[in-house]
């Protein structure tokens, strides 16, 4: 039997999506092939400490893992070839590939990927540049527009616009859009900080809320639509899953509807004719390639009611891996089981590293 691959699964992080990462990681660890991989579960606390956890995986999902962990150091120096315990630097735990199951800023935005590049270790998911582009919704849309990929109309504002000249900011928005509009932080995921504004007061509240999470704020037109998602995996020759549809339990697919109330409905596959299914799959791959994605991503769409127009909303480079997450469910419906998916993503990471991509 071939030697096991030393795999570091990284979870937690300092972003507001910390708890989502814990749920994703628990699901992934419970489905990984322990006969193929020697797994190190490493969590990053909200204060930024890296800690090795060797206990029951359910404690990760319950956010009770820290008390049973040991602090480690994962250096960017490639000569180490892994990490060591802070209290025992003589012993190095070898790492051959990293699987980051960690969402939001300082993780999904190219930051952590840069560390892996410095350490010269393969990692699952998109490159530094691709991760950074996809994390920033404003930059994502700029790439879409440059590549004739349809997306909704939007405006960019900065936190200072709201703080220093709120009336002027609101007036600019009203000159370009009619209510309702969506307001969101440019650099965040899991629907954190997103609001639907229906009048001047709720718009100001939404701008202030988004500004708490990021200095860049996006205002987007309201689209009366169905929310469609498509999973994509691969490097130079990616494949797209069957599309799925979300029927949110709330007015829109916010954080509560995604992770907490358990009442949102996932329709897999989405009820679409073959022509529309193919259009969405092809557009998902176009968007994936335009942003130079690799490994994996989930592409989110708006399917406008009445017109049938398809718009790309955003791309998530480290999508959720929870037991209710669309990314693994869509691929499962497309013939790739959860445990098989984990192995494929690790293989793609190693393949990309070998090619020097």
Provide the residue ranges of all domains of the chain, joining segments of one domain with +.
5-123, 133-150+224-354, 154-221
pLDDT of residue 126: 97
Strand 310-316 relative to strand 216-221, pairing: unpaired
- Coil, strand or helix at 274: helix
Compute the distance between CA of residue 328 and CA of residue 337 in angstroms, rounded to an integer: 8
- Coil, strand or helix at 33: coil
pLDDT of residue 1: 45
For residue 196, give the nearest of 184, 181, 208, 185 by alpha carbon: 181
Compute the distance between CA of residue 259 and CA of residue 322 in angstroms, rounded to an integer: 9
- Coil, strand or helix at 318: coil
Distances (CA, A) of 298 to 131, 149, 193, 314: 13, 16, 20, 8
In contact, 7 and 82? CB cutoff 8 Å: no
In contact, 183 and 219? CB cutoff 8 Å: yes
Domain formed by 5-123, architecture: 3-Layer(aba) Sandwich (3.40)
pLDDT of residue 323: 74
In contact, 22 and 59? CB cutoff 8 Å: no
Tally of residues, the chain? 357
User: What is the Cα 143 distance to its own chain's centre?
Assistant: 18
Which residues are within 8 A (CB) of 4 and not within 5 positions of it... i.e. 6 or more apart? 35, 36, 37, 38
Compute the distance between CA of residue 58 and CA of residue 287 in angstroms, rounded to an integer: 36
Distances (CA, A) of 193 to 26, 142, 157, 161, 298: 25, 21, 15, 17, 20
- Coil, strand or helix at 288: helix
- Coil, strand or helix at 279: helix
Domain formed by 154-221, architecture: 2-Layer Sandwich (3.30)
Whether CATH 3.30.470.20 fits 133-150+224-354 = yes
- pLDDT of the chain, 357 residues: tens digit per residue: 468 999 999 999 998 889 989 999 999 999 999 999 999 999 999 999 999 999 999 999 999 999 999 999 999 999 999 999 999 999 999 999 999 999 888 889 999 999 999 999 999 999 999 999 999 999 999 999 999 999 999 999 999 999 999 999 999 999 999 999 999 999 876 577 899 999 999 999 999 999 998 999 999 999 999 999 999 999 999 999 999 999 876 665 455 545 555 567 899 999 999 999 999 999 999 999 999 999 999 999 999 999 999 999 999 999 999 878 899 999 999 999 999 999 999 999 999 999 886
Compute the distance between CA of residue 58 and CA of residue 41 in angstroms, rounded to an integer: 12
CB count within 10 Å of CB 181 equals: 23
In contact, 198 and 222? CB cutoff 8 Å: no
User: Helix, strand, coil proportions of the chain in percent (round to 5)?
Assistant: 35, 30, 35
Compute the distance between CA of residue 32 and CA of residue 54 in angstroms, rounded to an integer: 15
Concatenating the DSSP letter of every residue in 195-248 gives: EEE-SHHHHHHHHHHHHTT-SEEEEEE---EEEEEEEEEESSS-EE---EEEE-
In contact, 230 and 281? CB cutoff 8 Å: yes
Intrachain domains 133-150+224-354 and 154-221 with the same fold: no
């Amino acid at each position: 039997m071939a030697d096991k691959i030393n795999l570091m699964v990284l979870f937690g992080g300092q972003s507001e999506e910390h708890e989502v990462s814990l749920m994703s990681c628990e699901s992934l660890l419970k489905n990984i092939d322990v006969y193929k991989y020697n797994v190190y579960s490493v969590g990053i606390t909200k204060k930024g400490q890296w800690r090795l956890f060797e206990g029951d995986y359910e404690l990760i999902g319950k956010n009770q893992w820290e008390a049973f962990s040991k602090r480690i150091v994962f250096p960017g120096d490639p000569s180490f070839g892994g990490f060591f315990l802070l209290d025992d630097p003589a012993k190095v735990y070898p790492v051959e590939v990293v699987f980051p199951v960690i969402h939001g800023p300082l993780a999904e935005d190219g930051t952590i990927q840069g560390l892996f590049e410095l350490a010269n270790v393969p990692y699952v998911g998109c490159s530094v540049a691709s991760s950074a582009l996809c994390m920033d919704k404003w930059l994502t849309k700029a790439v879409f527009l440059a590549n004739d990929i349809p997306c909704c109309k939007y405006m960019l504002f900065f936190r200072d616009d709201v703080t220093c000249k709120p009336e002027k900011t609101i007036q600019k928005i009203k000159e370009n859009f009619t209510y309702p509009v969506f307001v969101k932080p440019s650099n965040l995921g899991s629907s954190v900080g997103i609001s639907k504004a229906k009048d001047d007061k709720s718009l100001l509240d939404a701008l202030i809320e988004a500004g708490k999470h990021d200095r860049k704020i996006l205002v987007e037109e309201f689209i009366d639509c169905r929310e469609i998602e498509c999973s994509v995996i691969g490097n130079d020759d990616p494949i797209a899953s069957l599309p799925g549809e979300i029927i949110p339990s709330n007015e829109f697919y916010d954080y509560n509807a995604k992770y907490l109330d358990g009442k949102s409905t996932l329709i897999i596959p989405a009820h679409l004719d073959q022509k529309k299914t193919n259009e969405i799959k092809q557009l998902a791959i176009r968007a994936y390639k335009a942003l130079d994605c690799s490994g994996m991503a989930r592409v989110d769409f708006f399917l406008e009611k009445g017109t049938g127009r398809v718009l790309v909303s955003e791309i998530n480079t480290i999508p959720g891996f929870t037991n209710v997450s669309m990314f693994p469910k869509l691929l499962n419906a497309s013939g790739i089981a959860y445990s098989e998916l984990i192995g494929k993503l690790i293989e793609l990471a190693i393949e990309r590293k070998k090619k020097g991509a």
